[in-house]
Amino acid sequence: MHARGLAVGVVTLMAMLSGGVILANPSTADEMPLAKSVGTQLPLQDFRAMELDEDRGRLYFAQGAGSSLPLVVTDLDGVLQRDVTDVTGVSDVVLSNDQQTLYVAQDFDRVTALDADTLVPSATYDAPNGACVYAVEPAGDKLVGSYVDCGIGSGGLLIWSSPSTPAVVYTAGPNYHPMVDASPGSGGLIVAGDTGYSPVSTYVIDVSGPTPTIVSKRDNTGSNLQDYALSPDGTEVVESVGNPYEHHSYRLPDLSDATTYPSGAYPLDAAWSGDGSTVAVARSSTGSNDADVLFYDKDSTTSKYAVDFRASDELWKGALVVNSTGTRAWAVTYDDTYQSTQLLHSFGPAYPPKAPITDIAITARTGSGKDKGTAYVTVTWTSPLSRPGSSTNQQFVNVSASTNGGSDVLIGGAEMTTARTYTTTYPLPRGTTTFTARYKDFENWYPPATVTATLSR
């Protein structure tokens, strides 16, 4: 404390258990506590898809479909390793079953194969004119592309046997805006359905032969298809649909009922661990202190781990991946207003997420000369931050003054934007004045904080 000088108060608050997992306050004793994740800003401009390469310690990011934006490679924490500037305009990215080739759907007219070690292009699979290919999936010894109609007459599937042979154009299954999944254990079987149509019809299609064949079809598997996630052994597919509000799974090849994994509104995504032991399911449009992603043991209906994102962070469809053992997952969220903030979240039973922190400081000083009776008060912060233009998660700090133990008088406040600072003045009375900055998250997601600075006159 300094008379007529500089006084500083600083606080950094973390709601943290000894193991590093951030817990929300469960509403009942039986409700699972939530790990809270704030995520890390990604080095991207226009995110489209993500692929995990656990062996090489990489994440691949497709961005800028049809643009000059490059394929992006980061480490497993989202730190930039490389912009692949000769591979641009990517809408989808996926590793081959043997992990040696990276396939990218590029500029809506081709799929490019890259050597996964060097990321040098090795082959090109051309789409027919009028078939705008936007997604790709390896299936057995074939490569399957999903395309929309841009002149060919309908949407559907493209099946390549090799880069040197033309694709088989298949429209007897989904033929509008197909969603496709396969897995290393499914051989030549794929699961497919149309997005944009409701109710959903789900197909199992054998693409191993010269002509694709429908093995089974199940109508009315929900509405508003978001995602299929086929288990590594190819025996079970988890479907994400806008309705019903739970993740149903079906056995292959007959699409008979399997486990229903509880989630709530609105199902958006699902992913399996590489060993098939764990299913992670995700949903969108959740509020604060609601689970965005839940982990289940295969065939269990009781979740073993759950994570929560800020209410303004919307999970990107198809952007959930899980590691080989089910102990860590990755997901990408975007700001619900402008999609301008693309955050990587990493979390799991063995990997605590980046947690919400409240970090604010306050300083106070007197002026000089004729301003020696004026207090200049400055509040700074690093976290939390409001999202520009967002109607949710707006964060505010209030500043008050109390002299000689008297009542607090509100003297100012500010929204906690990326400016990270707020300054106000106060006519300093005789005595000792304590200036207090207070933060309280009305959604109870970030920890509250109170910091003080004192001046004497």
180-236 pLDDT, tens digit each: 999 999 999 999 999 998 999 999 999 999 999 999 999 999 999 999 999 999 999
**Least confident piece of the model among 9-13, 103-107, 342-346, 447-451:** 9-13
pLDDT in tens, 4-15: 233 334 444 333
Distance CA 312, CA 323 (A): 26
In this structure, the chain runs to a length of 457
Location of each CATH 2.60.40.730 domain in the chain: 7-16+358-456
pLDDT at res. 25: 35
Structure-model confidence comparison of residues 311 and 392, the more confident one? 311
Q: At 29, is the pLDDT very low, low, confident or very high (cuts 50, 70, 90)?
A: very low
In this predicted model, what pLDDT tens digit does every residue of 329-370 receive, in sequence order?
A: 999 998 765 556 799 999 999 999 999 999 999 999 998 888
* CATH class of this structure's domain 35-347: mainly beta
As a dihedral over the C-alpha atoms of residue 387, residue 388, residue 390, residue 395, rounded to 10 degrees, the angle is 50
CA gap 435, 309 in Å, rounded: 33
The answer, yes or no, to whether residue 110 has pLDDT greater than 90, is yes
Structure confidence at residue 46 as a pLDDT band (50, 70, 90): very high
pLDDT at 312 > cutoff 90: no
Count of Cβ atoms closer than 10 Å to residue 64 Cβ: 20
pTM listed for this prediction = 0.89
C-alpha triplet 285, 39, 28: angle, nearest 5°: 55
pLDDT at 269 (0 to 100): 97
Residue 340, pLDDT score: 64
Write the single-letter amino acid at 375: A
d(CA 71, CA 112): 12
Mean pLDDT taken over the chain:
91
- One-letter amino acid identity for 85? T
**What integer is the mean pLDDT of 131-143?**
97
Sheet strand arrangement including 357-366: 7-14, 357-366, 374-383, 421-427
Q: Which residue would you say has higher pLDDT here, 312 or 80? A: 80
Q: Which is it for the CA torsion 410, 411, 414, 419, positive or negative? A: negative
Q: Can you tell me whether residue 242 is helix, strand or coil?
A: strand
Alpha helices (H) along 228-365: none
Question: What integer pLDDT is reported at residue 24 of this predicted model?
Answer: 36
Outline which parts of the chain fall under CATH 2.130.10.10. 35-347
- Give the per-residue pLDDT at 30: 40
Handedness of CA 315, 317, 323, 327 (dihedral sign): positive
Q: Contact, 78 vs 39, CB < 8 A?
A: no
Structure tokens at 105: 């759907």
Pairing state between β 35-36 and 305-308: parallel
CA distances from 209 to 160, 192, 230, 253, 426 (A): 11, 17, 21, 16, 80
Q: Tell me the C-alpha distance between 80 and 59, whole Å.
A: 9
| CATH code for the part of the protein at 7-16+358-456 | 2.60.40.730
Q: Give the whole-angstrom CA distance, residue 271 versus residue 190.
A: 16
Residue 16 has pLDDT above 90, yes or no: no
Residue 84 has pLDDT above 70, yes or no: yes
pLDDT grade for 285, boundaries at 50, 70 and 90 = confident
